[in-house]
Amino acid sequence: MVNHEKLPSQQEYYMGIAFAVRQKANCKGNRVGAVIVKDNRVMATGYNGVPEGMKNCLDGGCLRCSNPNGIYPSGTGYDLCICVHAEQNALLTAARFGISVEGSELYTTMQPCFGCAKSLLQAKIHSIYYVHPWSPTDPDEKMKQKKIEEYERLFTRFSVVKQLEVQDPREDWAVTTKRSRSHSSRLAPRGDL
């Protein structure tokens, strides 16, 4: 008997792997999974969380993510965050095992942050595919605009940067803005939160 079910595209397939890898993310912020692919083969994977052997972020291991008394407004305190991003973990895993990633594609559940974009560019990642957008933040609007301009300039250096239209099965769990909206909507009857 022939199975006529539609197979996923290459991009859907690798993003599905990134979604699966993300299940191990232990960060209080966005939960991200990343997959580095070269010559149609998975080279390395990564998810965000604290360095190996340290107390998990979800268990209070990261001061920045715990954000006691809200002392770190959005866009600040990242120099204190001990979490390693999914893209960084994927690059570091490849390096640990001597795997070249030059010319690879990255599939990540969230657009890489400023720091990860620099690392990916330096590692000579060719293409980036993501599902959820990310943008730099800063309490100061002028500084925020400068950060966005520099961030966009970094992305012009990759051959491909593309947001995929892929359904995220755990978006409410993984994306902070979705979690805070669904949490707020359960607490307050107002629809403008």
Residues known to be catalytic:
87
| SS3 per residue for 121-175 | HHCCCCEEEEEECCCCCCCCHHHHHHHHHHHHHHHCCCCEEEECCCCCCCHHHHC
Distance of CA 176 to the CA centre of its chain: 11
The length of the chain in residues reads 193
- What are the tokens at 127? 């293409």
